[in-house]
Amino acid sequence: MAAIKRILMIVPVPVPAFALPGFVSQIPHELIRPDIAIDFVGCRNGANLIDSPYEQALADTWVLEAGARAQEQGYAAVCINSMSDSGLAALRSRLTIPVVGPGRSSFFLAADLGKKFSVLTMWKRWHSLYEKLALETGLGSRLVSIRDIDVRPDTAELLAGKEDIVFAKLKAEARKAIDEDGADVLILGSTTMHQSATWLASQVEVPVLNPGLVAFKQCEMLIDLGLAQSKSTYFAPETAKDDLLDPVASLFP
């Protein structure tokens, strides 16, 4: 029997225990191999909705705290469960196991599957996340639009109970992205939107990328291929000071 490979999936905000299954459900059981185990965790503290540069900085710090010791804890890879890719560069620097983010993974896959792509998201406050990704990936010319449905996200309930309203708005914005903006691939702008992925894909004629699932599958691929981020780009620190992260929770009582 093959050894179990564990993937640490970090949600970059604190998640109530009752809400964690909502995030876990974004990975269909039939797509989980018997040799892979996934541990979903929320950050111990920090950001709420990653709604601003201030909260982006908090999320970076708390994701680093959550994942800094993943390698010594026996994980084969770390996946950040947010299109914000919070803490990605820091963890890639700290660890030699693969560290993957849905933002970069989804942008590069979208650029491979079509010529132009759009991001469909919840609200305007998240636009800067995708603009940053476009700059970092060099794919700004391929990102033809960011369209939002002007609905405040909910990291506890996700889309539960709001399907009728949210799904209709997503379809309307998807049509505009395809018909008016020329998108031939669509990316859901948040892992909190995963409940809409299958439905929306059935309503449009172009691929719809579910970012959390894309990143998870990239983790599996990197594990299988024995590949990880280049240390010629993500230099390891000369001295790791993980102990400085231990009391960070006490800074925000």
Give residue-wise pLDDT tens across range 95-137: 999 999 999 999 999 999 999 999 999 999 999 999 999 999 9
Tracing tokens 């940053």 back to the chain, one arrives at 132
Tracing tokens 């660890």 back to the chain, one arrives at 95
Task: Choose among 11, 21, 125: nearest CA to 62.
Answer: 11
Q: Which domains does the chain have, with CATH numbers?
A: 5-101+213-251 (3.40.50.12500), 103-210 (3.40.50.12500)
> Higher confidence at residue 165 or residue 161?
165
Task: Choose among 159, 160, 188, 189: nearest CA to 50.
Answer: 189
pTM: predicted TM-score of the whole model, two decimal places? 0.94
d(Cα 229, Cα 80) in Å, to the nearest integer? 14
Tracing tokens 């299988």 back to the chain, one arrives at 224
DSSP 87: T
Task: Choose among 45, 119, 111, 110: nearest CA to 84.
Answer: 119
d(Cα 60, Cα 214) in Å, to the nearest integer? 21
